[in-house]
Structure 1
Amino acid sequence: MDTIFWFRRDLRLFNNFALYDAIEQGAKHAVFYITPVQWKNHGVAAIQVDLLKRRLVYLGNLLAKHGIKLHVLQSDDYQSCVEQLIKFCAANQVKKIFANKEYEINEQLRDTQFLSLADKQDCSVYLYDGDLIAPPGTVTTKSGDMYKVFTPFKNEWLKQHQDSHFYFKALPDTFSEIEWIEPELLKSDNSSQKWPVDDESLSHVIQRFIDEKLSSYKESRDFPAIKGTSGLSPYLALGIVSTYQLVAMVQQQHVDVLTSAKSNLFTWVNELVWREFYRHLLVAFPQLNKYQNFNQKYDSVQWRENEPEFNAWCEGKTGYPLVDAAMRQLKETGWMHNRLRMVVASFLTKHLLIDWRKGERFFMKHLIDGDLASNNGGWQWAASTGCDAQPYFRIFNPITQSERFDPNGEFIRKYVPELKNVPDKQIHFPHKYLASIGCDSVYWPAIVDHKAARQRALDAFKV
Structure 2
Amino acid sequence: MHLIWLRTDLRLHDNTALAAASQRGPVAAVYLITPEQWQAHDDAPCKVDFWLRNLQHLSQALGNLNIPLLIRHAATWDQAPTVLSQLCRELSVESVHVNEEYGIHESRRDSAVAQALEADGVTFHSYLDQLFFQPGSVLTKTGTYFQVFSQFRKVCYSRLHSALPRVVPTPKAQAEPGVTSDPVPTAVEGFPTPSETLRALWPAGEDEARRRLDAFADQQISYYKDERDFPAKPGTSQLSAYLAAGVVSPRQCLHAALQTNQGEFESGDIGAITWINELLWREFYKHILVGYPRVSRHRAFRPETEALAWRKAPEDLAAWQQARTGLPIIDAAMRQLLETGWMHNRLRMVVAMFLTKNLLIDWREGERFFMRHLIDGDLAANNGGWQWSSSTGTDSAPYFRIFSPLSQSEKFDGDGVFIKRWLPELAALNKKQVHNPEAAGGLFGVADYPRAIVDLKQSRERALAAFRRLPSRQEMAEHE
Match of 1:447 in 2: 453
User: What SS does structure 1 have at the residue aligned with 2:114?
Assistant: helix
Structure 1 unaligned segments of length 5 or more: list them: none
- Work out which of the residue numbers 291, 304, 314 in structure 1 matches 2:298: 291
Alignment CA distance shift 1:370-1:261 (3 Å): farther
- Which has the larger displacement, 114-123 or 402-411? 114-123
Distance 1:267 1:108 in 2: 31
- 1:263 matched residue in structure 2: 270
- Cα distance in structure 2, aligned partners of 1:112 and 1:87: 17
> Does the alignment pair 1:185 with 2:185?
yes
Partner of 1:80: 79
Cα pair 2:5 2:30 within 8 Å, conserved: yes
1:461 match: 467
Letter in structure 2 aligned against 1:446: A
Contact preservation (8 Å) 2:19, 2:169:
no
Partner of residue 38, structure 1: 37
1:328 and 2:335 matched: yes
Q: Could you tell me how far apart the structure 2 residues matched to 1:419 and 1:186 are?
A: 38
Q: Quick one: which amino acid aligns to residue 57 of structure 2?
A: Y
For residues 104 and 174 of structure 2, the distance between their equivalents in structure 1, rounded to whole angstroms, comes to: 37
How far apart are residue 441 of structure 1 and its match?
Answer: 2.8
Deviations 1:107-163 (A, max 9, x none): 100111111111211111110011101110111111211011000000001111124
Is the deviation greater in 118-127 or in 33-42?
A: 118-127
Q: CA deviation at 1:170?
A: 4.7
1:409 correspondence with 2:416: yes
> Does the C-alpha gap of structure 1 residues 439 and 302 become closer, same or farther in structure 2, counting only changes over 3 Å?
closer
For the pair 1:347 / 2:354, whether they are aligned, the reply is yes
RMSD over aligned Cα atoms: 1.7
Alpha carbons 2:132, 2:165 under 8 Å: kept:
no
Output the CA distance in 2 between the equivalents of 1:130 and 1:261. Answer: 28
Q: 2:385 aligns with which of 378, 393, 418?
A: 378
Where 2:71 maps in the other structure, the secondary structure is strand
Give 1:119-158 correspondences, 5 Å limit. Answer: 119-158=118-157
2:186 partner letter: L
Q: Is 1:194 aligned to residue 193 of structure 2?
A: no
- The 5 Å alignment of 1:209-358 reads 209-260=216-267, 263-358=270-365
The verdict on how the C-alpha distance between 1:429 and 1:439 changes in structure 2, with shifts beyond 3 A counting, is closer
- The alpha carbon displacement at 1:235 in A equals 0.7
Q: Distance in 2 between matches of 1:445 and 1:142?
A: 53
SS at match of 1:6: strand
CA shift, 1:395, in A, is: 0.2
Query: 1:326-366, CA deviations, whole angstroms, 9 ceiling, x for partnerless residues?
Result: 00110011100000000000000000000000000000000
Q: 1:56 is matched with which residue?
A: 55
Name the CA distance, whole Å, in 1 between partners of 2:183 and 2:66.
18
Corresponding residue to 1:425 among 423, 429, 432: 432
Give the equivalent residue in structure 1 for 2:475.
none
The one-letter amino acid paired with 2:425 is E
Matched position secondary structure for 2:407? helix
Answer whether contact 1:214 1:268 (CA < 8 A) is retained.
yes
SS at match of 1:143: coil
Between the two proteins, the alignment pairs up a number of residues equal to 461
TM-score (norm 2): 0.93
Identify which range, 186-195 or 93-102, moves more after superposition: 186-195
Unaligned runs of 5+ in 2: 470-480
Q: Which amino acid aligns with 1:406?
A: D
Deviation string 1:87-111 (CA, Å, 9 cap, x unpaired) is 1112222121111111111110011
Alignment partners' CA distance in 2, 1:258 and 1:56: 33
How many angstroms does 1:193 deviate by? 3.4
